[in-house]
């Protein structure tokens, strides 16, 4: 990766972003389901493992201004902040409850870390950051081209973006299985006019979108990964927290049964209980000058 960053050499306090640490509502973009930040923190071991592995190889000087898009409960954002003792970090997420959870992580005496409720399709930044990251959030955004344009606009010329998400491969995704279950007669009434809430982009297409958004694609890789939950019950709990787009359309009394059916049918595709298979696209991008 090794891209030289145009990082300001001013002290961190002189480079603090001109916004306050508030949980304001998004002003535009797609309607987003409000994830449960507290429950997510209890079951997010998989997401944290993937993100921790990703940031371990992230080249940082230590004084960059970093934007974390889709920061969730702020766990990974705070790890990134530890690597930027002379820099600053801003985490944004569309979920109020996620941001509430993230704000609770911030020491009262620091201004280097901030969290905001913001929509990736309407980010309020203009060349405010040296690097942007996003870990397994952008596949919940349909208009990935606009998301990439917003991220590019948030970066200085020559700034980097490291973006990781679920992508389309020949592996059936659990979200695809959930959509199949939703069409079954017993569930179809709850899912009338329901469009898939995710976008698993083809890797080549993502590269095209990034280029059109003003980025140079430095590297783009796809990995097939697996995760075995300790039990089917743990798998069930994880998917319940991660599927509010589906479960919010159901009566509370039916949620467990729907999730159990999705898990059971997914297990038929992978042939093993508690096994989760997924694909990860990782893109390393540089903002071109003048975009």
Per-residue pLDDT of 228-266, as tens digits, reads 888 999 899 889 988 899 999 999 999 999 999 999 999
Question: What is the model's pLDDT at position 45?
Answer: 63
CA distance 179 to 38: 26
The whole-number average pLDDT for the span 169-186 is: 96
38 within 8 A of 97, measured Cβ to Cβ: yes
Three-class secondary structure of residue 173 per DSSP = coil
* b/e 189-215 (16+ beta carbons within 10 angstroms → b): ebbeeeeebbbbbebeebbebbeebbb
**Residue with structure tokens 């694609």?**
217
Going 112 to 116 to 118 to 120, the CA torsion angle's sign is positive
Distance of CA 245 to the CA centre of its chain: 16
Between strands 155-166 and 129-135, the pairing is parallel
Greatest CA separation for the chain: 62
CA distance 219 to 2: 11
The radius of gyration of the chain's CA atoms, rounded to the nearest angstrom, is: 19
The whole-number average pLDDT for the span 76-81 is: 93
Residue 222, Cβ density class (10 Å: 0-12 exposed, 13-18 middle, ≥19 buried): middle
241 token code pair? 């927290």
Question: For the domain 20-169+197-226+278-287, what is the CATH superfamily, name and number?
Answer: Vaccinia Virus protein VP39 (3.40.50.150)
Instruction: Name the more confident of 48 and 208.
Output: 208
132 within 8 A of 161, measured Cβ to Cβ: yes
Smallest Cα–Cα separation from 93: which of 169, 24, 43?
Answer: 24
At 95, is the pLDDT very low, low, confident or very high (cuts 50, 70, 90)? very high
Smallest Cα–Cα separation from 163: which of 69, 96, 257, 34?
Answer: 69
CA distance 79 to 258: 35
Cα dihedral 205, 165, 62, 99 in deg (nearest 10): 130
The whole-number average pLDDT for the span 207-227 is: 96
Q: Is the pLDDT of residue 153 over 90?
A: yes
Q: Is the pLDDT of residue 7 over 50?
A: no
The whole-number average pLDDT for the span 195-220 is: 98
**Facing residues of 116 across strands?**
92
Q: Is the pLDDT of residue 43 over 70?
A: no
- Taking the model in full, what pTM does it have? 0.83
Question: What is the model's pLDDT at position 47?
Answer: 62
Number of alpha helices (DSSP H) and beta strands (DSSP E) in the chain: 11, 7
* Weakest-pLDDT range from 68-77, 107-116, 194-203: 107-116
Q: Is the pLDDT of residue 174 over 90?
A: yes
Which range in 12-21, 106-115, 185-194, 220-229 is most confidently predicted, on average pLDDT? 185-194
At 44, is the pLDDT very low, low, confident or very high (cuts 50, 70, 90)? low
């Amino acid at each position: 990766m090794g891209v030289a960053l145009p990082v300001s050499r001013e002290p961190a306090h002189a480079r603090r972003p001109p916004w306050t640490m508030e949980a304001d509502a998004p002003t535009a973009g797609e309607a987003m389901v409000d994830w449960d930040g507290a429950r997510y923190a209890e079951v997010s071991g998989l997401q944290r493992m993937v993100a921790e592995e990703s940031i371990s190889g992230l080249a940082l000087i230590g004084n960059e201004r970093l934007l974390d898009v889709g920061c969730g409960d702020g766990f990974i954002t705070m790890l990134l902040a530890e690597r930027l003792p002379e820099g600053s970090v801003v985490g944004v997420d569309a979920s109020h409850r996620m941001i509430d959870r993230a704000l609770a992580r911030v020491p009262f005496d620091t201004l280097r870390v901030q969290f905001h409720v913001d929509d990736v399709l309407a980010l309020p930044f203009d060349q405010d950051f040296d690097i942007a990251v996003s870990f397994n959030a952008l596949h919940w955004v349909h208009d990935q081209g606009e998301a990439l344009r917003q991220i590019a606009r948030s970066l200085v010329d020559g700034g980097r973006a490291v973006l990781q998400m679920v992508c389309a491969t020949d592996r059936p995704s659990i979200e695809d299985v959930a959509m199949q279950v939703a069409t079954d007669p017993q569930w179809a009434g709850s899912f009338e006019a329901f469009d898939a809430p995710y976008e698993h982009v083809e890797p080549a297409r993502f590269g095209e979108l990034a280029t059109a958004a003003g980025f140079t694609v430095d590297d783009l890789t796809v990995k097939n990964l697996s995760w075995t939950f300790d039990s089917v019950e743990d798998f069930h709990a994880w998917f319940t927290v991660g599927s509010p787009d589906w479960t919010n359309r159901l009566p509370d009394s039916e949620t467990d049964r729907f999730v159990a059916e999705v898990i059971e049918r997914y297990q038929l595709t992978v042939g093993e209980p508690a096994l989760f298979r997924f694909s990860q696209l990782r893109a390393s991008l540089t903002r071109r000058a003048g975009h």
